[in-house]
């Protein structure tokens, strides 16, 4: 049994990598688009793996952070005409700042009270998008922004590189000192603090990393779809992202990637 687990850990990432590299060449255009969405979603879910899986802090407002990254990229591109790469960096930085601010309520709230706070944050962001129509396009959505790279295939390969780096970083984080501190908070926050863990700093790090990856994923989402609408960032989307983390076992980056791709594909297969 131990040998089987070792083989699975060794070969699962390799098989996943081969699939992601080969699949675009044997898929239809629409199937390739769904695969791209799965890879883009996986980047976001890896951020939730850090926040929910490692730290144990449930969030049902993750779609709002995804929207923050996507809309910041789109607004800077459409309204200000900035370089796509500059828009991408600004979107990731701004989303990280917004997400980090969510860590402060977690200092005093936990469990269902923190979940309600994140739900409220998600609704606030969605309502702002709807009502700031001159900036966001409101219910009509936002379109017309420039892409980072000339073709979808180039964007896909860029996403694969980012996904690889994020997956390696997530796995290494889980085994590092700060990763062990996050897992200690998940088990028992008071005990972790007694043992010398700086709980507040660890929570800020978890929220910041999760928000940063949401921003990166939001930028890629804007590039893939070419159009953004408030209907794409509802509470139902946040619940789906949470489901992806839970199904993955909340402890493995490879499993989180696989669950993200499968649950992105599944609605299209059953449609």
Strands (E), the chain: 142-143, 227-228
Do the Cβ atoms of 77 and 146 come closer than 8 Å?
Answer: yes
What pTM does this model have?
0.93
Instruction: Using alpha carbons, select from 159, 129, 133 the residue that is nearest to residue 223.
Output: 159
Could you tell me the CA-to-CA distances from 206 to 10, 61, 85, 99, 256 in Å, in that order? 27, 15, 25, 10, 17
Note the pLDDT of residue 226.
Answer: 85
Note the pLDDT of residue 191.
Answer: 86
Residue 12 structure tokens = 């699962």
pLDDT at 159 over 90: yes
Compute how many other C-beta atoms are within 10 angstroms of the C-beta atom of residue 170.
23
**Sequence-separated (6 or more) residues with CB below 8 Å from residue 64:** 121, 122, 124, 125, 126, 233, 238
pLDDT at 24 over 60: yes
DSSP 198: -
Count the alpha carbons within 13 Å of 123 in the hemisphere toward its beta carbon. Answer: 6
* Phi/psi at 234 (5° precision): -90, 175
Note the pLDDT of residue 137.
Answer: 87
CA atoms of 153 and 131, how far apart (whole Å): 35
Q: pLDDT tens digits, residue range 128-154?
A: 999 988 898 888 888 888 888 888 899
Q: pLDDT tens digits, residue range 88-102?
A: 999 999 999 999 988
State what percent of residues in the chain have pLDDT above 70. 96
Could you tell me the CA-to-CA distances from 147 to 31, 162, 203, 214 in Å, in that order? 20, 16, 34, 18
DSSP states of 7-35 as a string? HHHHHHHHHHHHHHHHGGGTS-HHHHHHH
Do the Cβ atoms of 265 and 34 come closer than 8 Å?
Answer: yes
Give the residue-averaged pLDDT of 234-254: 89
User: Which segment of 18-22, 26-30, 43-47, 108-112 scores lowest on mean pLDDT?
Assistant: 108-112
CA 142 to chain centre: 21
């Amino acid at each position: 049994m131990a040998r089987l687990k070792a083989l699975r850990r060794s070969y699962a990432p390799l098989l996943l990598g081969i699939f992601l590299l080969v699949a675009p060449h044997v898929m239809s255009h629409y199937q390739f688009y769904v695969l791209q969405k799965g890879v883009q979603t996986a980047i976001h879910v890896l951020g939730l793996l850090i926040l929910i899986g490692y730290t144990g802090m449930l969030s049902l407002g993750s779609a709002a952070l995804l929207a923050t990254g996507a809309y910041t990229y789109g607004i800077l591109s459409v309204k200000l005409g900035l370089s796509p790469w500059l828009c991408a960096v600004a979107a990731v930085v701004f989303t990280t700042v917004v997400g980090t601010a969510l860590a402060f309520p977690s200092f005093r709230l936990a469990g269902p009270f923190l979940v309600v706070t994140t739900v409220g944050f998600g609704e606030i962001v969605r309502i702002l998008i709807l009502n700031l129509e001159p900036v966001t396009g409101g219910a009509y959505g936002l379109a017309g922004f420039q892409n980072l790279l000339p073709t979808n295939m180039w964007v896909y390969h860029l996403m694969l590189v980012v996904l690889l780096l994020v997956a390696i970083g997530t796995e290494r984080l889980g085994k590092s000192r700060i990763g062990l501190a996050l897992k200690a908070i998940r088990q028992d926050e008071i005990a972790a603090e007694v043992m010398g863990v700086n709980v507040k700093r660890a929570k800020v790090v978890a929220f910041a990393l999760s928000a940063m990856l949401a921003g990166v994923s939001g930028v890629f989402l804007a590039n893939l779809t070419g159009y953004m609408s408030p209907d794409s960032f509802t509470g139902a989307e946040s619940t789906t992202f949470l489901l992806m983390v839970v199904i993955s076992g909340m402890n493995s980056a490879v499993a989180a990637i696989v669950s993200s791709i499968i649950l992105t594909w599944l609605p299209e297969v059953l449609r």
